[in-house]
Structure 1
Amino acid sequence: MVRTPLTPWERRRGEQLGALLRAARGERSMVEVAATAGLSAETLRKIETGRAPTPAFFTIAALANALGLTLDALATASVEGLDDGMDQPMSA
């Protein structure tokens, strides 16, 4: 199965999500947060750096729980400021 390439908007959204998670982590180590969420530190590193711009729902849910964030807050903040003319995915 061939994966459809991500649009620039989707890549930017992933980068923004990673920055949000990194900021929420604050002084906590990547290893500590990843372990609390039940993930590897490398998975968290990829998400935070935007190299994994579309992480699985349950991965984000676990991170949100570990960081004391709501999924609503993450979803809203991940797309703030991204409607600057970039091609957005079609709504489902």
Structure 2
Amino acid sequence: MVRTPLTPEERERGERLGRMLREARGSRSMVEVAAAAHLSAETLRKIETGRAPTPAFFTVAALAGALGLSMDEIVTRCALVPV
């Protein structure tokens, strides 16, 4: 199965998500947050750096819970914006 290339808007949304997660993580280590969300640190690293710009809903929800973010806030801050 071939994956459709991401649009510039989708890439930008992934970068905004990554920045927001890094800000919310603060001084906590990537390993600590990933473990709290039941994810690998590598998965979190890819999301934070924009290498995984379209993570699964349940991955985002797990990170939101571990970081004390609301899904509403994530949706609002990471909505698609034309580039």
Counterpart secondary structure, 2:52: coil
Amino acid at match of 1:29: S
Identity, in percent, stands at 72
* 8 A Cα contact 1:16 1:79, kept in partner: no
Where structure 2 has 5 or more consecutive residues not aligned to the other structure, the ranges are none
* 8 A Cα contact 1:47 1:53, kept in partner: yes
Counterpart in the other structure of 1:23: 23
Where structure 1 has 5 or more consecutive residues not aligned to the other structure, the ranges are 87-92
Counterpart in the other structure of 2:12: 12
Does residue 36 (structure 1) correspond to residue 36 (structure 2)? The answer is yes
Counterpart in the other structure of 2:65: 65
Q: Which has the larger radius of gyration?
A: 1
Return the alpha-carbon distance in structure 1 between the equivalents of residues 11 and 52 of structure 2.
9
Return the alpha-carbon distance in structure 2 between the equivalents of residues 27 and 79 of structure 1.
26
- Structure 1's consecutive aligned runs of 4 or more residues displaced over 3 angstroms after TM superposition are none
Amino acid at match of 1:38: H
Counterpart in the other structure of 1:55: 55
Q: CA deviation at 1:51?
A: 0.2
Counterpart in the other structure of 1:90: none
Q: Alignment length, in residue pairs?
A: 83
- Give me the TM-score of the superposition, normalised by structure 1: 0.86
